């Protein structure tokens, strides 16, 4: 048996806190001397104390800890695994924040300028899938659904590997319920079944084209640069249905720095003599 002072030293918990744990029924002494009132703990209770400290570190309340310790070991294991998953997800979010900070610092130290050129985009045959997705982060899953459906309909031989595209239909930026269309060029119009559609993509007589090499994380900066360009060229006006064409992406390389994306933003010339 260990006196409360000894238990405090070995468990790295103050006597005051041990008394508090006793008062709330979280960790009661193994024995209390009736004459002196001294509290005694067993060596085995050190393991229970370490579990309490771990759960506190994991942000469980004392009441939650009390309930977990009174439950069976499977319940404790389940809660620990759930907490582990939440921590893993939080670490991933923190890593994204760190990378965003690093990119911003790099932009400050080494400003990047993107070449914006005007072009016409001819009409072309394509297979398309349009859907409202929960958020931009679900675009990858929609592409997988697109691939699976094309394989199911034996359409892969019809594809031309010259850049698939995503078209955004919303009139404003939306974080949820994003209306997008996935587009894959084909050699000719194909016979397809729902949810796929085969069509001739309309010609875009005038568009701003911006080639971006590297991670998709820099795309907001690209749109910002385009906004500055548009402000300096009042003779043009942006119209809807922006396209993002993937020339090299996750299907071709595991290195995001090797991605090549083309942003195509349809324009109209406000003064006809500009054309």
Domains and CATH numbers, the chain: 2-70 (1.10.1660.10), 116-269 (3.20.80.10)
Neighbours of 51 (CB within 10 A): 16
pLDDT tens string 53-99:
999 999 899 999 999 988 888 888 998 999 999 999 999 889 988 98
* Residue 160 pLDDT exceeds 80: no
Pick the residue with more confidence: 218 or 13? 13
* Mean pLDDT score, 144-158: 85
Identify whether the C-beta of residue 197 lies closer than 8 Å to the C-beta of residue 274: no
pLDDT tens string 98-112:
988 887 787 788 777
Instruction: Give the predicted TM-score (pTM) of the model.
Output: 0.61
Q: How far apart are the C-alpha atoms of 186 and 199, rounded to whole Å? A: 10
Categorize the per-residue pLDDT at 273 as very low, low, confident or very high, splitting at 50, 70 and 90: very low
Which of 26-35, 66-75, 92-101, 154-163 has the least mean pLDDT? Answer: 154-163
Q: What pLDDT score was predicted for residue 137? A: 82
Burial class (CB in 10 A: 0-12, 13-18, 19+), 21: buried
Residues contacting 208, CB < 8 A, separation 6+: 116, 117, 118, 226, 229, 230, 236, 263, 264, 265, 267
Q: What angle do CA 139, 168, 181 make, to 5 degrees?
A: 60
Neighbours of 97 (CB within 10 A): 10
| Listed residue (114, 108, 115, 143) closest to 127, CA to CA | 143
State the virtual CA torsion across 169, 173, 178, 180 in degrees, nearest 10. Answer: 30
Helix (H) or strand (E) segment spanning residue 98: helix 73-109
Strand partners, 119: 207
Helix (H, G, I), strand (E, B) or coil at 170: coil
* Mean pLDDT score, 231-240: 91
Identify whether the C-beta of residue 267 lies closer than 8 Å to the C-beta of residue 239: yes
């Amino acid at each position: 048996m260990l006196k409360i002072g000894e238990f405090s030293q070995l468990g790295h918990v103050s006597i005051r806190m041990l008394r508090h744990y006793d008062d709330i029924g979280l960790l009661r002494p193994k024995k209390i001397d009736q004459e002196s009132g001294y509290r005694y703990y067993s060596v085995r209770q050190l393991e229970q104390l370490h579990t309490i400290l771990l759960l506190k570190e994991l942000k469980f309340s004392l009441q939650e800890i009390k309930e977990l310790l009174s439950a069976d070991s499977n319940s404790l294991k389940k809660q620990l695994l759930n907490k582990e998953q939440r921590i893993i997800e939080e670490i991933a979010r923190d890593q994204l924040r760190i990378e965003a900070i690093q990119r911003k610092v790099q932009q400050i130290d080494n400003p990047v300028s993107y070449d914006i050129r005007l072009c016409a985009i001819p009409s072309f045959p394509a297979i398309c899938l349009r859907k409202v997705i929960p958020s931009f982060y679900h675009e990858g899953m929609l592409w997988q659904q697109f691939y699976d459906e094309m394989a199911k309909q034996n359409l892969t031989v019809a594809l031309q590997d010259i850049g698939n595209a995503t078209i955004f239909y919303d009139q404003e930026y939306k974080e949820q319920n994003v209306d997008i269309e996935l587009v894959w060029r084909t050699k000719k119009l194909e016979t397809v079944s729902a949810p796929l559609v085969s069509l001739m993509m309309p010609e875009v007589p005038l568009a701003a084209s911006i080639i971006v090499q590297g991670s998709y994380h820099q795309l907001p900066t690209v749109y910002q640069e385009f906004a500055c360009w548009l402000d300096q060229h009042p003779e043009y006006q942006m119209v809807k249905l922006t396209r993002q064409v993937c020339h090299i992406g996750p299907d071709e390389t595991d290195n995001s720095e090797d991605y090549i994306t083309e942003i195509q933003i349809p324009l109209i010339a406000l003064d006809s003599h500009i054309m």
